[in-house]
Amino acid sequence: MASRDPTFRFDIHARLQHGMLAVSLAVLMLTGFPIKFAHAGWARTVVGLFGSFETMLAVHLVAAGLLALVVVYHLGLCLWGLVRGRLDFAVVPRLRDFSDFAHHLTYLVGLRRDPPRFGKFTWWEKFEYWAVVWGTTVMGVSGLTLAFPEWAASYVPRWVIGALRVAHSNEALLAFLAVLIGHSFAVHFSPSVFPSSPVWYNGKLKLSQLMEDHALLYHATAGCAASDLDRVPHSRWAHNRVLILVELVVYGGLVAWVFVSLVPLLLR
């Protein structure tokens, strides 16, 4: 049900889908990476937690089934919204998103003093949504091929199956990095929302986050001017220098670790 509260973001269906997606991806990564990195010592440790490789693989398939259920859930709600004429197309990329990206980038590096103003979805939120759509499609098609290789071999050449095997594990690795570095920062560790945005459990954004990241939406729904942002109480962590310094070090280290350790693994 729609809400007139401008801070209301996700209804119960969106929160359930997010929770199911988070659980399924976490389990898929936990049970899938020991296969991709079978040569590593930690992989044998993870397999040992499940008792056997066969048990771990069975858990992997159950998690894949949960992910498939999320897809059906989401597509069903999209279809229902389309039939009722209430499907929200705000997440569809537009040409303005490219100029918003350029504006945001120049603002972050100090070349512009005026911050960008976004509507219901920012450019990075749209990117994340369609990355999930693309990644789930790749993981689903390649996963079905790996689960039923004899069936797949009757339709496609063997080299296609081999390519899909590589795509399956590499897409999972990219998803892991996106969640670890990008999504976790935006939702949990950004000083403006630290220690967490409440949107994933109660559906609401903090007012300061709404006005900072979705100023156009707030102005349209609540008649608030952009200048009113200064009068909205911010998180006490928003300008905490210690937190900001620690996060710069941690995320800088993560990015360095990715380039040194993980990028070469994508080529295997």
User: How many residues belong to the chain?
Assistant: 268
> How far apart (Å, rounded) are the C-alpha atoms in residues 176 and 221?
35
Q: Check residue 232 and give its pLDDT.
A: 56
Inform me whether the pLDDT recorded for 212 exceeds 90.
no
Q: Check residue 8 and give its pLDDT.
A: 85
Mean of pLDDT over the chain: 87
Q: Are 91 and 129 in contact (CB under 8 A)?
A: yes
Q: Which of 27-31, 88-92, 217-221, 225-229 is least confident?
A: 225-229
Q: Check residue 2 and give its pLDDT.
A: 46
For the chain, the first-to-last Cα distance in angstroms comes to 47
CA distances from 237 to 95, 242, 245 (A): 34, 9, 12
- Percent of the chain whose pLDDT exceeds 70: 90
> How far apart (Å, rounded) are the C-alpha atoms in residues 196 and 186?
9
Neighbours of 142 (CB within 10 A): 22
Q: Are 218 and 117 in contact (CB under 8 A)?
A: no
Closest CA relative to residue 122, chosen from 213, 212, 42, 252: 213
Task: Write out the DSSP string of 202-214.
Answer: HSB--HHHHHHH-
> How far apart (Å, rounded) are the C-alpha atoms in residues 118 and 220?
11
Query: What pairs with residue 223 in β-bridges?
Result: none
The token duo for 253 is 């280290």
- Which of the four pLDDT bands, split at 50, 70 and 90, describes residue 190? confident
Domain spans of the chain, in order of start: 12-267
Task: Write out the DSSP string of 42-90.
Answer: HHHHHHHHTSSHHHHHHHHHHHHHHHHHHHHHHHHHHHHHHHTT----T
Mean pLDDT of 31-58: 94
Amino acid present at 33: F
> How far apart (Å, rounded) are the C-alpha atoms in residues 61 and 241?
45
- Phi and psi for 225 in degrees, rounded to 5? -80, 155
Torsion angle of C-alpha atoms 254, 259, 260, 263, degrees rounded to 10: 120
Closest CA relative to residue 91, chosen from 111, 74, 112: 74
Inform me whether the pLDDT recorded for 9 exceeds 90.
no
> How far apart (Å, rounded) are the C-alpha atoms in residues 38 and 32?
10
Q: Check residue 20 and give its pLDDT.
A: 97
Inform me whether the pLDDT recorded for 260 exceeds 60.
yes
CA distances from 62 to 52, 113, 133 (A): 16, 50, 20
- Phi and psi for 232 in degrees, rounded to 5? -90, 130
12-267: CATH topology: Fumarate Reductase Cytochrome B subunit (1.20.950)
Amino acid present at 176: F
Inform me whether the pLDDT recorded for 264 exceeds 50.
yes
Q: What is the pLDDT of residues 130-184, one digit of tens each?
A: 999 999 999 999 999 999 999 999 999 999 999 999 999 989 988 998 898 889 8
